[in-house]
Amino acid sequence: MQKAVLFDVDGQTYGFDISFVESIERQHAVTRLPGTADFVRGLMNLRGVIVPVLDGRRFFDRSPFQPEQQTRTIILERDGVRVGFMADGTRNVIDISPDMVQPVPADVEENSKIKLEGVIYVDTRVVGLLDVSPVLDSSMAVN
């Protein structure tokens, strides 16, 4: 059984495999960087570690964040690469059995930087399970 943390971006619910989630943070000061991709919010100091932060809305080609009290930054980590992903808010952590995951229709991802591992149904919502690789690889846009 796999676990996923669910979060919202611009009214849609998505999930990340919990094994890649290091922490979920409230708002931190973010230093903007000139000349980076539009979805790069900047850098944050997370307990002495500098972490690039991506604007989840811009990553999904939506309008940029206006951070609010419920805004959260999901800290993802894989193989020593760490990145923060800003979301409108987080929901909960759920258990996902393999039979819950439906394949993604092939034409959905054709021209997208967003990759889905699959989709699940939670209550009445369709939830996209995001592949963390494109998100973590996007941290290279800071360099």
At 7-47, the pLDDT tens digits run 999 889 999 999 999 999 988 889 998 888 888 889 999 99
Q: How many domains does the chain contain in total?
A: 1
Longest dimension (CA), the chain: 45
Could you tell me the CA-to-CA distances from 45 to 49, 67, 74 in Å, in that order? 6, 17, 14
- What is the span of the domain harbouring residue 43? 2-142
CA neighbor of 128 nearest in space, from 97, 102, 94: 102
For the entire predicted model, the pTM comes to 0.88
- What is the DSSP track for 20-78? GEEEEE----EE--TTS-TTEEEEEEETTEEEEEEEHHHHTTSPPP---TT-EEEEEEE
Residue type, 24: I
**Better-predicted residue by pLDDT, 18 or 104:** 18
Q: What pLDDT is stored for residue 115 in this prediction? A: 83
Q: What pLDDT is stored for residue 66 in this prediction? A: 73
CATH number at residue 38: 2.40.50.180
- Res. 143: pLDDT tops 70: no
User: pLDDT class for 114, splitting at 50, 70, 90?
Assistant: confident
- Give the model confidence (pLDDT) of 57-82 as tens digits: 988 888 876 767 788 999 999 998 89
Of 35-39, 47-51, 107-111, 116-120, which gets the smallest average pLDDT? Answer: 107-111
CA neighbor of 113 nearest in space, from 71, 56, 64: 56
Mean pLDDT, residues 111-125? 81
- Provide the percentage of residues in the chain whose pLDDT is more than 70: 90
In this structure, the chain runs to a length of: 143
